[in-house]
Amino acid sequence: MSRKVHPEFAYQSRELEGQIDGILGDPPDRKNYQRMIAALVSEYASGGGIEDVNMLAFALVDHIEFNNPKGLLAEAEDYEFGDAGRVFAMASCKGEDAARMYAALEENLPDLGRQAIITAFLFKNPRKWDDDDQSLDQLSANDDGDDVNDEDQATDDFAQMFDQDGD
């Protein structure tokens, strides 16, 4: 049962993978990785932390458990808008610090937390969704070259959006 997800969620999931690989290093340094996670969890648990989807997902990824995969997959179709409370209810974090962090995220950064939970879910469940390749090759596959002059001048409609006087 594969599903389409919002391209931004697909992107964030790939970014999370890159971040984890980067922090683990080669050869993998598990101690350093665990220290980084612990520091992030502690920061977010105390109500602080960097307001960044990727950092939040990174802090969550090793502690989070998902109790409603189908619901999370459905929520992954819309990046900007969704019910944060519903998404938070579809997962939980084990361990005292991680549980405190989860509660703090729901209270302080609900929308960002929602995006991070879904990002972590997609990262940990790659077979449940289709990752459309957003590479330039893929994006230009259907380009028939008809937009060559598109960037030369702004259309009237576009220009009027920035015309504050309304003339």
Query: What confidence score (pLDDT) does residue 130 get?
Result: 84
pLDDT tens for 14-48 read 999 999 999 999 899 999 999 999 999 999 999 99
Q: Over 80: is that where the pLDDT of 129 sits?
A: yes
Q: Over 70: is that where the pLDDT of 94 sits?
A: yes
Q: To which H or E segment does residue 161 belong?
A: helix 156-161
Comparing CA positions, the residue from 114, 131, 136 lying closest to residue 5 is 131
pLDDT band for position 157 (cuts 50, 70, 90): low
- Residue 134 CA to residue 49 CA, distance in Å, equals 30
Q: Pull the structure tokens for residue 55.
A: 């950092």
